[in-house]
Chains A and B, each alone.
Chain A
Amino acid sequence: MSKYQTKQEGTLALGNMPEITGKEYSLYHCDESLSAASVDRLLGVVRDTIDPELLKENSSFDTRRSVFRDVPALRISSSEQEGFSITYQRWKGVVKEIGEETFVAQISDLQRNVPEEQVEFLLEEIKEDDKELFSIGAEFYWCIGYLISPSGQQIRASLLRFRRLPLFTKDSIKIAAQKSHDIQQNITWL
């Protein structure tokens, strides 16, 4: 049993993590975009080193785990330098409409089988370094969770992170043209 396990049944999904290294990493498919550093930047939080023991000593943390018992994959990312972030809800979304102050996106819950939703976000929710990725059709992840500060303080957080796609290259354009040509050859246009 690792030192991050709590007394709570099921633990905090930290059981397989022997220790926190200095590098950002994830558990249970945690997205890179969910690093504590990202959330910190969003919230303007400055951190010192976190003491992981605070996690299991923090009783409210255990309570929260029990409240969110139906969340199938509690995911935690961490950095020795910047602390922990814990995601409780995660959606995948696509930008559908952009207004002067807001944008509309269609989102699907990545954890539950529920209808898709349409959400109107304020443009200010988009991080500065994501702005160049923002356009109609752009894909993003939206996460809601907690940050655990080095002092053990919990901060509720919401983070939008846009998907980064590689730049078009001469080769990728050539491949697309070739693929299009090959496809045309194999379809019988009546």
Chain B
Amino acid sequence: MPLCSPPNVKEVELSIFGNSFGESILIHLGNNEWIIVDSFVDYLNKRAVALNYLDKIKVDYSAVKAIVATHWHDDHIRGLSEVMVNCKNAVFICSAAIKAADFQEFIFSDSDLIEGRSGNYELRKILEELARRKGAAKYALENRILFSNQLYQIYSLSPSDYAMLLALKEIAFLLPKEAQPRKGIPHIHPNHTGIVLLIVINGKGILLGADLEEKGDNRMGWTKIINSQERPKIRSSNFKIPHHGSVTAHHEGIWISLLDKEPLSFLTSFILGNQILPKKADIKRILSYTSNAWITTNPNERQKSIKREPMIEKTIKETVKSIRALPDNGQIRIRYCDSRKKWETELFGSAMLLSKC
């Protein structure tokens, strides 16, 4: 199918976008109802990739029912405020940490930050937009039903109460103090408050793992989800692998208790300095659980360098230890049509089979 062809009204679609420093997922629930999970910005037109895609397939933004910020790391949230401004009917879903007064005070204390540079900026703009239009928001917690109707149910499986407690403690510590210098966004660790979503459509499960990590603590992370007695006991046939395939987000129980055998699995890569995900060992591990795995960009592929004038190039070489451009966007599109009883995968841009990395 050409990229610009929209799903038919009964066709479920998952589109996963990534560029090694950005992840965004669009889901067509059926009946022209869409959900956007996380965001990053296309460098070509500086717009959120999710909006670019909806434009391409000619879907009106009013069809977006919910916008989910799984957490506030830059690679998951850039452009999300633009999505919120444009999708006027959408409910905003976020971690309960964001609803806390302390967290919001923290967000609004940094109002001088450069546009588009940070999770803090995006969250501030989203909350301002919601307040401006008196919009609706919902916070995600362990085993909460976010939406439910005859066609689909959407559950949040995390964050756990304990993870929330840790996050709030951390945020309280970061609250601004008089005469303290502003240094931009402090380094906070929101991965344990990340929102894992279970989307059930016509009885079929889709598990979106966000960046939730595993610490071996039965009060939080994947251990808490797997051991939960309250979570819906539905196995998923589609899986967004958490935290770019990192071993820090791995728990064998996910593959045993939460997923069908050989699930269709997909992930985005992540590059930050020397940190490259997934590593070779991660790829090998994932492929030992499923051969149906795709990735939006190959993390090991040598990136094209940006052409510059020789004088600038020479000075860069003398000044920096390394420099690399982020790769082009990749999109994995998976559609399920009831009449064909089959998921079909299409790859666009730099997306590829994980086994070919």
Identify which of residues 270-328 in chain B touch chain A, using a CB-to-CB cut-off of 8 Å. Answer: 271-275, 306, 308-309, 311-312, 314-316, 318-328
Q: Are B272 and A115 in contact, CB atoms less than 8 angstroms apart?
A: no
Q: Are B326 and A115 in contact, CB atoms less than 8 angstroms apart?
A: yes
**Which residues from A are CB-within-8-Å of B112?**
165-166
Q: Are A138 and B184 in contact, CB atoms less than 8 angstroms apart?
A: yes
Q: How far is the CA of A190 from the CA of B140 in the complex (A)?
A: 11
Binds A, one of B171-179, B203-211, B226-234: B171-179
Q: Are B137 and A104 in contact, CB atoms less than 8 angstroms apart?
A: no
Asked if B107 lies at the interface with its beta carbon under 8 angstroms from chain A, I say: yes
**Which residues from B are CB-within-8-Å of A132?**
181
Asked if B130 lies at the interface with its beta carbon under 8 angstroms from chain A, I say: yes
Q: Are A89 and B306 in contact, CB atoms less than 8 angstroms apart?
A: no
Q: Are A169 and B179 in contact, CB atoms less than 8 angstroms apart?
A: yes
Asked if A177 lies at the interface with its beta carbon under 8 angstroms from chain B, I say: yes
Q: Are A158 and B321 in contact, CB atoms less than 8 angstroms apart?
A: no
Q: Are B184 and A139 in contact, CB atoms less than 8 angstroms apart?
A: yes
Q: Are A96 and B272 in contact, CB atoms less than 8 angstroms apart?
A: yes
**Which residues from B are CB-within-8-Å of A102?**
273, 321
* A116 shortest CB reach to chain B, Å: 5
* B154 shortest CB reach to chain A, Å: 13
Q: How far is the CA of A189 from the CA of B127 in the complex (A)?
A: 11
Q: Are A116 and B131 in contact, CB atoms less than 8 angstroms apart?
A: no
Q: Are B319 and A158 in contact, CB atoms less than 8 angstroms apart?
A: yes
Q: How far is the CA of A122 from the CA of B271 in the complex (A)?
A: 19
Q: Are B308 and A89 in contact, CB atoms less than 8 angstroms apart?
A: yes
**Which residues from B are CB-within-8-Å of A119?**
320, 322-323
Q: Are A165 and B184 in contact, CB atoms less than 8 angstroms apart?
A: yes
**Which residues from A are CB-within-8-Å of B308?**
89
Q: How far is the CA of A163 from the CA of B114 in the complex (A)?
A: 10
Q: How far is the CA of A99 from the CA of B321 in the complex (A)?
A: 13
**Which residues from A are CB-within-8-Å of B114?**
92, 139, 163
Q: How far is the CA of A184 from the CA of B102 in the complex (A)?
A: 12
**Which residues from B are CB-within-8-Å of A106?**
21, 74
Write the B136-171 contact mask toward A (1 if CB under 8 angstroms, else 0).
Answer: 111100000000000000000000000000000000
Write the A141-181 contact mask toward B (1 if CB under 8 angstroms, else 0).
Answer: 00010000000000011100001011111101101110111
Q: How far is the CA of A168 from the CA of B110 in the complex (A)?
A: 9
Identify which of residues 100-138 in chain A touch chain B, using a CB-to-CB cut-off of 8 Å. Answer: 102, 104, 106, 108-109, 113-122, 125, 132-138
Asked if B1 lies at the interface with its beta carbon under 8 angstroms from chain A, I say: no
Contacting residue for B312 out of A88, A184, A188, CB 8 A: A88
**Which residues from A are CB-within-8-Å of B314?**
156
* B46 shortest CB reach to chain A, Å: 8
Q: Are A115 and B43 in contact, CB atoms less than 8 angstroms apart?
A: yes
Identify which of residues 3-52 in chain B touch chain A, using a CB-to-CB cut-off of 8 Å. Answer: 21, 43-44
* B22 shortest CB reach to chain A, Å: 9
Contacting residue for A172 out of B21, B109, B311, CB 8 A: B109
**Known: A117-B323, A121-B320. Is A64-B109 also a contact (CB below 8 A)?**
no
Q: Are A117 and B184 in contact, CB atoms less than 8 angstroms apart?
A: no
* B275 shortest CB reach to chain A, Å: 7
Asked if B117 lies at the interface with its beta carbon under 8 angstroms from chain A, I say: yes
* B212 shortest CB reach to chain A, Å: 21
Q: How far is the CA of A69 from the CA of B174 in the complex (A)?
A: 47
Q: Are B324 and A184 in contact, CB atoms less than 8 angstroms apart?
A: no
Q: Are B179 and A114 in contact, CB atoms less than 8 angstroms apart?
A: no
**Which residues from B are CB-within-8-Å of A89?**
308-309, 312
Q: How far is the CA of A10 from the CA of B117 in the complex (A)?
A: 34
Q: Are A120 and B320 in contact, CB atoms less than 8 angstroms apart?
A: yes
**Which residues from B are CB-within-8-Å of A172?**
109, 176
Chain B interface residues toward A at CB < 8 A? 21, 43-44, 74, 91, 99, 101, 104-109, 111-114, 117-118, 127-128, 130-132, 134-139, 176-187, 271-275, 306, 308-309, 311-312, 314-316, 318-328
Q: Which 8 A-B pairs have the closest CB atoms?
A: A104-B273, A137-B185, A137-B184, A165-B182, A186-B131, A180-B104, A176-B109, A176-B108
Not counting A133-B181, A135-B183, A139-B117, a sample of 6 additional A-B residue pairs whose C-beta atoms are within 8 angstroms of each other reads A64-B311, A94-B184, A109-B306, A136-B186, A139-B113, A139-B184
